[in-house]
């Protein structure tokens, strides 16, 4: 095994990432070392590198939370995985396992949770240190490059759709048809929902139609909330907002059917106004949803392993990361870029 690794590092917020060579980390007790095969590039990595959110990561750090690879070393006391297993190192890097939320199987909101590619170094590196109790177990038959987007974009949208409470035959509106949204459409279809896709890019909407969306709305044409209400006969039973854009949030609440649920997943920095009378009088639920638990992860991966959900990926080398970030920032990535480490 090499004793050096390449990684893309955020040294200063808002500046290009820097490719650097590091000594290979070595796993301590209850840690594992993963040799990265592939890592998806999520819009969250862009927020992280810009320092967009109130709780900022400590500099310097290695982003990436869709890293998939093979376990190459295990520290003392590791029994959950063994050398040679294919695992994913997700956003939910670890949690305490003992607080009220962990005990309720809501480890995603544990106050002591660590986040991959944010509070812990992530997958834009040839090797990743990971917590074996929180890695994703990649089913046999699912390649590393296709698994990568599932461990953030997939699990987040699958969980978010469940949180809408929409039932088979009902409508879901999916706002944002990028990395998250193109998988959301496929999960929603596999779960028996009717999909109305919303984006500001006609190319993304054409893709949504190819993926099975029954209706599409360009949010830049007129009033998208009114358009969705007309197309769905009164509003979508569930709304999932993945767009990293504040106007999409108020529009999403306006697309929600009476007694429906609008789930917020996109994380642009800032706030949005809630039209109070409409939300109260229509008994609308607005709720946040944050990635997914380990159990959601196993379910989300099973859809991909069965071929019911397939990420649309563009492979790039790690050296292209700054160009990929620029493109993602201007909406110029078709679905998901996956960094291919050529290792698997
Ligand atoms: P992406 O850039 O791949 O896709 C965003 C899509 O939104 C693009 O297709 C874009 O055209 C579209 N869009 C932009 N403005 C819009 C608008 N006003 N209305 C409708 N669509 C619009 O991004 P992504 O990787 O899918 O991530 C999306 C957001 O989700 C980011 O803010 C990211 O941080 C967040 N995220 C949240 C979680 C969570 O757990 N809650 C997990 C992963 C990502
Ligand atoms: Zn992500
Ligand atoms: Zn906890």
So what's the pLDDT on residue 121?
98
* Ligand 1 pocket, residue 157 CB under 6 Å: no
Domains of the chain plus CATH, in order, are 4-152+292-340 (3.90.180.10), 156-288 (3.40.50.720)
Please list, in sequence order, all residues whose beta carbon lies within 8 angstroms of the beta carbon of residue 93, skipping any fewer than 6 positions away: 65, 113, 114, 115, 116, 119, 120, 130, 131, 134
* 241/251 Cα distance (integer angstroms): 9
For residue 245, the CA-to-ligand 1 centroid distance in Å is 7
Ligand 1 atom nearest 247 alpha carbon: 18
For residue 113, the CA-to-ligand 3 centroid distance in Å is 7
So what's the pLDDT on residue 103?
98
The angle at the Cα of 302, spanning 148 to 131, to the nearest 5 degrees, equals 55
* Ligand 1 pocket, residue 196 CB under 6 Å: no
* 226/229 Cα distance (integer angstroms): 5
The angle at the Cα of 15, spanning 11 to 18, to the nearest 5 degrees, equals 50
So what's the pLDDT on residue 342?
87
So what's the pLDDT on residue 257?
98
* 233/188 Cα distance (integer angstroms): 19
For residue 9, the cross-strand partners are 18
For residue 270, the CA-to-ligand 1 centroid distance in Å is 14
* 142/131 Cα distance (integer angstroms): 22
* Ligand 1 pocket, residue 108 CB under 6 Å: no
**Global pTM exceeds 0.85:** yes
- Over the stretch 136-184, which tens digit does the pLDDT of each residue have? 999 999 999 999 999 999 999 999 999 999 999 999 999 999 999 999 9
* Ligand 1 pocket, residue 123 CB under 6 Å: no
So what's the pLDDT on residue 343?
61
The angle at the Cα of 328, spanning 327 to 334, to the nearest 5 degrees, equals 90
Count of CB atoms situated within 10 Å of the CB of 225: 22
Ligand 1 atom nearest 198 alpha carbon: 20
For residue 21, the cross-strand partners are 6
Tell which residue, 264, 246, 286, 289, has the closest CA to residue 91: 289
Mutate to test the pocket of ligand 1, among 66, 90, 91, 267 (most ligand atoms within 8 A of CB): 267
**Tokens 């990684």 belong to residue:** 7
In DSSP notation, 183-238 reads: HHHHHHHHTT-EEEEEES-HHHHHHHHHTT-SEEEETTSS-HHHHHHHHTTS-EEE
Ligand closest to CA 158: 1
Alpha carbon distance, N-terminus to C-terminus of the chain: 15
Residue nearest to atom 1 of ligand 1 (CA): 178
Parts of the chain with a pLDDT under 70: 343-344
- Over the stretch 18-49, which tens digit does the pLDDT of each residue have? 999 999 999 999 999 999 999 999 999 999 99
So what's the pLDDT on residue 1?
72
Ligand closest to CA 269: 1
In DSSP notation, 228-266 reads: HHHHTTS-EEEEEE--SSTHHHHHHHHTEEEEEEEEE--
């Amino acid at each position: 095994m090499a004793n050096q690794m390449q990684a893309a590092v955020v040294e200063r917020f808002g500046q290009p990432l820097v490719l650097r060579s590091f000594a290979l980390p070595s796993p301590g007790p209850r840690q594992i070392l993963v040799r990265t095969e592939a890592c998806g590039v999520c819009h969250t990595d862009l927020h992280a590198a810009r320092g967009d959110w109130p709780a900022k990561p400590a500099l310097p750090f290695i982003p990436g939370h869709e890293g998939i690879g093979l376990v190459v070393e295990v520290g003392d006391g590791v029994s959950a995985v063994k050398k040679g297993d294919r695992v994913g190192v997700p956003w939910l890097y670890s949690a305490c396992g003992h607080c009220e939320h962990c005990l309720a199987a809501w480890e995603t909101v544990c106050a002591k949770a660590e986040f991959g590619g944010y509070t812990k170094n992530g997958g834009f590196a040839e090797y990743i240190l990971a917590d074996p109790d929180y890695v994703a177990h990649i089913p046999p038959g699912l390649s590393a490059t296709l698994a990568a987007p599932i461990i953030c974009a997939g699990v987040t949208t699958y969980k978010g759709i469940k949180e809408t409470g929409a039932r088979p035959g009902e409508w879901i509106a999916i706002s944002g048809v990028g990395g998250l949204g193109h998988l959301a459409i496929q999960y929603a279809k596999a779960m028996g929902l009717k999909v109305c896709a919303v984006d500001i890019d006609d190319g993304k909407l054409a893709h949504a139609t190819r993926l099975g969306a029954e209706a599409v709305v360009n949010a830049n044409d007129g009033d998208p909330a009114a358009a969705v209400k007309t197309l769905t006969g009164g509003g979508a039973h569930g709304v999932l907002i993945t767009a990293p854009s504040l106007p999409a949030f108020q529009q999403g609440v306006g697309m929600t059917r009476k007694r429906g649920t609008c789930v917020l997943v996109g994380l642009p920095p800032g706030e949005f106004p809630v039209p109070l009378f409409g939300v109260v009088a229509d008994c609308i639920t607005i709720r946040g949803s944050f990635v997914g638990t380990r159990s959601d992860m196993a379910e989300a991966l099973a859809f991909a392993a069965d071929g019911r959900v397939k990420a649309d990926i563009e492979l790039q080398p790690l050296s292209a990361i700054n160009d990929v970030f620029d493109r993602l920032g201007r909406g110029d990535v078709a679905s998901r870029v996956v960094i291919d480490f050529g290792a698997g």
